[in-house]
Amino acid sequence: MWTLVLNCGSSSVKFALLNLDDDRVGLTGLAERLGSAGASARLDMEGERRTADLRGGSYAEAFAVLAGALDELGVRTQVGAVGHRVVHGGERFHAPVRLTDEVLGEIRACVPLAPLHNPANIAGIEAAQAAFPDAAHVAVFDTAFHQTMPEVAYRYPVPGDWYRQHGVRRYGFHGTSHAYVAARAAQDLGRPLAELNLVTAHLGNGCSVCAVQGGRSVDTSMGLTPLEGLVMGTRSGDVDPGLHDYIARQAGLSLSEVTSALNKESGLLGLSGLSNDMRELEEAAGRGHAGARLALDVFVYRLAKQMAGMAVALGRVDALVFTGGIGENSAAVRGAVLARLGVLGAAVDDEANRAAVRGQAGRISAPGALAALVVNTDEERMIAEQTRALLAGVSA
Ligand code: AMP
């Protein structure tokens, strides 16, 4: 059976077609700039890249192009399942779930918690249900993995009614990636996941760390929204909650303008005044750009502090795990973080660290030190595996 994995954002859809029975990838692709005149799709299949203009720029049009490609591959009728990435499942969803009208209604009820993401996920699901009516559609939530966090980790010290009436608590995100890399790390370490205490760091454009105990999330750095925690490409991560009122008054900004600046103009971009892209910043820092150097230093310092904090949630740490575009490629960031985590017994093996780039995963810790691993994340595969497991009646 083929499983189609869809990740619908507000202006893009990422897709992947996977066959888990014989480990084949049928196609991968991306439709971009949806909703605008320049919308287009690219598909990588059978070793070739195809592109198509999407004049109307709608999800329906993107899925029509995708359906045409499935016809060409001769697999459209064999697509038994569609796994959808859904960002926010609130407290309602602890695991993947088959999409029914009732479930869609509950995802809609989570829109106030994720006003940028859930509406796009819902629109994508509805268009995909129309385009692939014979397949079973399954929602896989970014938040679900973190529903095992204990109350001490998920409650904010704010008025209790904010939690009870408005759902103000920590939810966490990137759950699919943290769950996947934790399981892969256990395989790489040759030990059962159930016995391991891991600190996983997903470092991409968005960044979060997670404390994974026996395969279950017990704490994570993102909270009510994906803005909490680490320094990210354009997101600030943790700031003083008093900042909003102060800067709103000083700079004459509205609350939503402050929130937008914390999401889109902060993080690596805000600190460096140059870029949100780690590659560019590493190059610029190498040339002596002071802002780029500062951005890297703050990124690493705060990341190390958060990873060390996860040791409190775990009690004992068996391994540190790096993933995401930065985690899988930046030997400089990993080396600097491990140097700061000597307090946990971490130490880097420079040669192994330099070698673990561009898809080369592996152990990067010095002999005898706390284990540190690079693991390539694969959220599409994890969504496909969870979708298949749900439909087969077992938990992944
Ligand atoms: P992702 O969101 O997982 O695609 O990750 C995007 C981030 O990974 C961006 O900050 C990229 O600059 C960073 N990245 C990708 N490749 C490299 C590399 N070779 N060295 C450093 N950072 C990289």
- The predicted structure's pLDDT at residue 37: 86
- The predicted structure's pLDDT at residue 396: 55
Q: What is the number of alpha carbons within 13 Å of residue 383 lying toward its C-beta?
A: 28
Ligand 1 atom at minimal distance to the Cα of residue 205: 2
DSSP state of 146: G
Distance 284 CA to ligand 1 centre (A): 15
- The predicted structure's pLDDT at residue 55: 87
For residue 299, give the nearest of 343, 269, 260, 262 by alpha carbon: 269
267 Cβ inside 6 Å of ligand 1 = no
Distance 34 CA to ligand 1 centre (A): 24
Q: How far apart are CA 173 and CA 207, in angstroms?
A: 9
Annotated binding site for Mg(2+): 7, 379
pTM (2 d.p.): 0.95
For residue 391, give the nearest of 29, 140, 131, 184 by alpha carbon: 140
Best mutation site among 203, 330, 333, 379 for ligand 1, i.e. most ligand atoms within 8 A of its Cβ? 330
Q: Which residues are catalytic?
A: 142
Strand ranges of the sheet holding 216-220, from the earlier edge strand across to the other edge:
216-220, 207-213, 197-203, 319-323, 371-374, 362-363
Ligand 1 atom at minimal distance to the Cα of residue 357: 19
Best mutation site among 176, 180, 208, 278 for ligand 1, i.e. most ligand atoms within 8 A of its Cβ? 278
Distance 38 CA to ligand 1 centre (A): 25
Strand ranges of the sheet holding 40-45, from the earlier edge strand across to the other edge:
48-53, 40-45, 24-32, 13-19, 2-8, 79-86, 136-141, 97-98
Distance 157 CA to ligand 1 centre (A): 35
pLDDT in tens, 150-171: 999 999 999 999 999 999 999 9
329 Cβ inside 6 Å of ligand 1 = yes
279 Cβ inside 6 Å of ligand 1 = yes
376 Cβ inside 6 Å of ligand 1 = no
Tokens describing residue 314? 């775990």
Distance 86 CA to ligand 1 centre (A): 23
212 Cβ inside 6 Å of ligand 1 = no
Domains of the chain: 2-141 (3.30.420.40), 191-379 (3.30.420.40)
Helix (H) or strand (E) holding 354: helix 350-355
Please state, in angstroms and as integers, the Cα–Cα distance from residue 78 to each residue in 48, 60, 82, 385, following that order. Answer: 22, 20, 11, 17
Question: Across the chain, which distance is largest between two alpha carbons, in Å?
Answer: 61
Residues in the chain, pLDDT under 70: 394-396
Best mutation site among 235, 279, 299 for ligand 1, i.e. most ligand atoms within 8 A of its Cβ? 279
205 Cβ inside 6 Å of ligand 1 = yes
- The predicted structure's pLDDT at residue 10: 84
Q: How far apart are CA 221 and CA 353, in angstroms?
A: 25
